[in-house]
């Protein structure tokens, strides 16, 4: 994948906004930039985790739900997998076409909370989406219907147990239906940020069996531009794995991001 030319996006304000985000984050040209570190670590850790549990067969269909700028899905497409990108904003599809260099992929204009495909997937990625849902259990149950039996889902979401989390937890807002609906699906707004226990509970309630649940993107490495610049990714991410699990004096974690992989077993 590549950063699209500025000229290709300048006449569409939304495409230009997406490109600027990509330039600051996943495709940032500056080595050691904080947003690049956070985004790439989250995406590549999720990618490796999904590949660990997917069948060794690149003909199987994979889906990137609420795909946004499509980083995870494009990684799979570049590896030879057949990928469907799903989002309720068509501008993301136009952007992904400009960003992609190769791969076999299709686009589905639909809502992740309600779409059920005739095609069943072996793996679904739902990145930075569950915190925007008014009814997260319902959304997860719907995603489950898009998987084959034995299929896996990978969720990423901000960590409600993070040291500096200021958003309410799911327990605090789950009965505030009017508030949650108003905030849901609006860019920049989170309905809540799930504590690790809460995320695992709603995944189980939706009919999944959690398999792996980790935290990444430590507070310490986010603050240390020196370490991000001098350490290779392999060592940087190994250090991050250790630091993200550490707890502060008040029992909060230093890791900013949760990654949870679960399976549909029946």
pLDDT in tens, 50-96: 999 999 999 999 999 999 999 999 999 999 999 999 999 999 999 99
pLDDT in tens, 17-39: 999 999 999 999 998 999 999 99
pLDDT tops 80 at residue 174: yes
For residue 20, what pLDDT is reported? 96
Average pLDDT of 131-159?
98
Does a structural domain hold residue 22?
Answer: no
pLDDT in tens, 193-229: 999 999 999 999 999 999 999 999 999 998 899 999 9
- Per cent of the chain over pLDDT 70 is 100
For residue 188, what pLDDT is reported? 77
Exposed / middle / buried, residue 53 (Cβ in 10 Å: 0-12, 13-18, 19+): middle
Does a structural domain hold residue 204?
Answer: yes
For residue 138, what pLDDT is reported? 97
Confidence category of residue 143, pLDDT binned at 50, 70, 90: very high
Question: What domain range is 233 assigned to?
Answer: 31-263
For residue 185, what pLDDT is reported? 72
Does a structural domain hold residue 24?
Answer: no
CA proximity to 239, closest of 249, 252, 226: 226
CATH code for the domain in which residue 62 is found = 3.40.50.150
What's the pTM value of the predicted model, to 2 decimals? 0.96
Does a structural domain hold residue 17?
Answer: no
Number of domains in the chain: 1
Q: In what order do the strands lie in the sheet with 61-65?
A: 104-109, 82-87, 61-65, 121-127, 147-158, 255-263, 209-218
For residue 186, what pLDDT is reported? 75
Q: How much is the mean pLDDT over the chain?
A: 95
Does a structural domain hold residue 21?
Answer: no
Does a structural domain hold residue 88?
Answer: yes
Does a structural domain hold residue 3?
Answer: no
Does a structural domain hold residue 23?
Answer: no
Alpha helices, DSSP H, located in the chain: 6-9, 13-24, 34-53, 71-78, 91-99, 136-144, 170-173, 177-183, 196-205, 219-223, 225-230, 233-244
pLDDT in tens, 232-250: 988 999 999 999 999 998 9
Exposed / middle / buried, residue 52 (Cβ in 10 Å: 0-12, 13-18, 19+): exposed
């Amino acid at each position: 994948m590549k950063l699209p030319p500025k000229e290709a996006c300048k006449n569409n304000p939304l495409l230009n906004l997406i490109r600027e985000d990509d330039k600051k984050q996943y495709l940032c040209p500056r080595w050691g930039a904080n947003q690049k570190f956070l985004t790439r670590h989250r995406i590549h850790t999720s990618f490796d985790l999904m590949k660990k549990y997917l069948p060794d067969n690149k003909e199987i269909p994979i889906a990137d739900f609420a795909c946004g700028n499509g980083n995870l899905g494009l990684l799979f497409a570049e590896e030879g997998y057949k990928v469907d990108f799903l989002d309720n904003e068509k501008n993301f599809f136009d952007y992904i076409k400009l960003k992609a260099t190769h791969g076999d992929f299709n686009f589905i204009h639909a809502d992740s909370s309600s779409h059920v495909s005739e095609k069943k997937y072996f793996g679904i990625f739902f990145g930075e989406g569950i915190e925007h849902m008014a009814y997260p259990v319902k959304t997860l149950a719907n995603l489950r219907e898009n998987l084959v039996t034995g299929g896996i889902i990978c969720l990423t979401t901000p960590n409600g147990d993070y040291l500096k989390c200021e958003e309410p937890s799911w327990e605090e807002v789950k009965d505030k239906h009017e508030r949650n609906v108003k905030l849901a699906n609006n860019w920049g707004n989170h309905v809540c940020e799930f504590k690790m226990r809460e995320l695992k509970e709603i995944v189980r309630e939706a009919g999944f069996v959690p398999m792996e649940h980790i935290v990444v993107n430590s507070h310490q490495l986010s603050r240390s531009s020196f370490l991000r610049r001098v350490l290779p990714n392999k060592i940087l991410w190994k250090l991050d794995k250790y630091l993200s699990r550490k707890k502060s004096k008040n029992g909060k974690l230093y890791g900013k991001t949760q990654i949870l992989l679960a399976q549909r077993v029946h």
